[in-house]
Amino acid sequence: MCSVQEGEDVSPARKEKIVEERTCMKCEKKAVLVTRVNDAFCKECFMVYVTHKFRAAIGKSKLIRDGESVLVGVSGGQASSCLLHLIQEGLSGRAHKKLRFKPGLVFIDEGATIGMSAEERLANCTQVLEIMEKTGFPCYLKALEQAMELEKEAFTNTADQTDTASVTSVENLTKLHRYDKAEEELLALMDSLKSVSAKEDLIKSLRQKILIDLALKKGYSKVMLGDCSTRLAVQLLTDIAQGRGAHVAMDTAFADNRCNDITIVRPIRDFSSKEVAMFNILNNVPSVFIPRITTKAADSVSIEHLTERFVTGLQAEYPSTTSNIMRTGEKLHTEKKSSSENQCAICQAPLDTDVPPSSALSAVRFSETVSRCSSVTLSIFSTDTACCGGGTCQSEGQKESECCGQGDGSCQSKESKLTRDEVESALCYACRLLIKDLGDVSKLPKHILDDISQRQRRTKMKSEIEDFLLDPSNTPD
Ligand SMILES: [Zn+2]
Ligand SMILES: [Zn+2]
């Protein structure tokens, strides 16, 4: 996002104010920029203001402890480069009160999603890696297609030394692009999603999975992201438009604790994109431009792209737009469910699909069922998955095999293929919309399917032994 859109250059009236040689609102020196609605700052006071805002966000939350390992997601873009610079300054001896956490940096290459050539991807990685290496912190490189190969049980410490090793040279970089099979799988998955909105949404979820997975494997307990307020205001409105209203609070708050072991933090969420751009210009902070799926596309290509256009357009006329959106969003709250069974298998947000029969969601579900199998009218009221009519569906794909000894009935149905209804039962409302276009649900990443199968087996087993379980409400006092 360009800073010119948001500030002084749009209306001739505001331009006048700059030409008039304004003085800094703090120290009466000559102002070099105007931020927020009408605050003029000189360079020094602006730096103090920005640094204070960053430190206050971290300090106020009291979430990041001394010596804690924090994984910082670097995209190469303006906001994450700004965040990286602030972290570096905060950790250096020059800082007034030193930050005391231990950062590690990760860049996720998403070139596969827009069909970039291997050379282009390598060039982008090299550029970002150069910026990351200069900081001296541990650096990791990941490719988005690696999300297809994540293991369901990666959440134990079985680190794969080759692909998560910290990258220190460009030779190691080339190793990154050996995920040909995964790349094909990712492309097949992306191709089967018709809308660009769905693709963007999926990329976001996969990116988050990689970040969480790497953080767990490498012993980081927080993931830090460089989301600025403009970006989050767009995210907030996009979420609502895409049926993620229940997750707005998590997606835009300072701390997102949807994953049990890792908290995602956004320390520059109070910075506007104009402040980020000004900070980078005044400090000569380098950033890398990497095209995304909606770069150069028409405004209406996706919900997020259109929302971005709307918010930045409004912000140019009314400088308090993003802060108003963010303040409204702060009033929202998502209740976190403790069990992972109650989380969406794709985006890991709490499931919002457990609703009473008279809700709008049930109505949608009902009309879908009716239109899908209008010939099998009798089975529509059944909560079980509809029979295919051939008499073979119940045993389709299932192989009886020796017991694996896990004791949760998992071995009996290991080979069975998940049906669409089964997959949907483990997804939130928005992720159900996301996979609507997907012809074959088995194209989803393996770890997601494994997770859903496991939940299915648990539910099945639970229903089988239900009659033998003690009901806590019936126990004598
Ligand atoms: Zn000043
Ligand atoms: Zn979801």
pLDDT computed for residue 109 by the predictor? 92
- pLDDT per residue as tens digits for the range 330-383: 888 877 666 777 889 999 998 888 777 777 778 877 887 788 766 444 444 444
CA 205 – ligand 2 centroid, Å: 8
**Residue 415 sits in the same domain as residue 306:** no
pLDDT computed for residue 338 by the predictor? 66
Task: Please report which ligand is nearest the Cα atom of 201.
Answer: 2
Q: Give domain status of residue 30, yes or no.
A: no
Q: Give domain status of residue 191, yes or no.
A: yes
Task: Please say if the pLDDT value at position 325 is more than 80.
Answer: yes
- pLDDT per residue as tens digits for the range 372-384: 766 444 444 444 4
CA 260 – ligand 2 centroid, Å: 16
Tokens of 320: 């308090």
Q: Give domain status of residue 391, yes or no.
A: no
CA 33 – ligand 2 centroid, Å: 41
What CATH number corresponds to the domain at position 261? Answer: 3.40.50.620
Total domains, the chain: 2
Mean pLDDT of the chain: 81
Task: Please report which ligand is nearest the Cα atom of 42.
Answer: 1
- Alpha-carbon distance of 366 to 39, in angstroms, equals 54
**Residue 83 sits in the same domain as residue 200:** yes
Q: Give domain status of residue 132, yes or no.
A: yes
Last residue of a domain, one of 278, 299, 334: 334
pLDDT computed for residue 389 by the predictor? 39
Q: Helices 273-282 and 78-91: crossing angle, nearest 10°?
A: 60
- The residue ranking higher by pLDDT, 470 or 141, is 141
Q: Give domain status of residue 19, yes or no.
A: no
Task: Please report which ligand is nearest the Cα atom of 48.
Answer: 1
The secondary structure of residue 407, as a DSSP letter, is: S
pLDDT interval class at 222 (50, 70, 90): very high
CA 33 – ligand 1 centroid, Å: 10
- pLDDT per residue as tens digits for the range 126-152: 999 999 999 999 999 999 999 998 876
Round the CA-based radius of gyration of the chain to a whole number and report it.
25
pLDDT computed for residue 47 by the predictor? 94
- Alpha-carbon distance of 344 to 353, in angstroms, equals 10
Provide long-range contacts, Cβ within 8 A and 24+ apart, for 123-130.
124/76, 124/288, 124/290, 125/173, 125/176, 126/170, 126/173, 127/76, 127/288, 128/74, 128/75, 128/76, 128/288, 128/290, 129/167, 129/170, 129/173
- pLDDT per residue as tens digits for the range 233-278: 999 999 999 999 888 999 999 999 888 889 999 999 999 999 999 9
Task: Please report which ligand is nearest the Cα atom of 350.
Answer: 2
Q: Give domain status of residue 212, yes or no.
A: yes
**Residue 148 sits in the same domain as residue 168:** yes
The secondary structure of residue 157, as a DSSP letter, is: S
**Could you list the residue range(s) of the whole structural domain that residue 456 is in?**
340-377+411-464
**Residue 446 sits in the same domain as residue 327:** no
**Residue 101 sits in the same domain as residue 227:** yes
- Alpha-carbon distance of 181 to 186, in angstroms, equals 9
- Enumerate residues with CB within 5 Å of ligand 1 (an ion): 24, 26-27, 29, 42, 45
Task: Please say if the pLDDT value at position 296 is more than 60.
Answer: yes
For residue 106, the surrounding DSSP H or E stretch is strand 102-109
Query: Which residue, 240, 202, 200, 440, is CA-closest to 352?
Result: 240
**Residue 109 sits in the same domain as residue 145:** yes
CA 30 – ligand 1 centroid, Å: 7
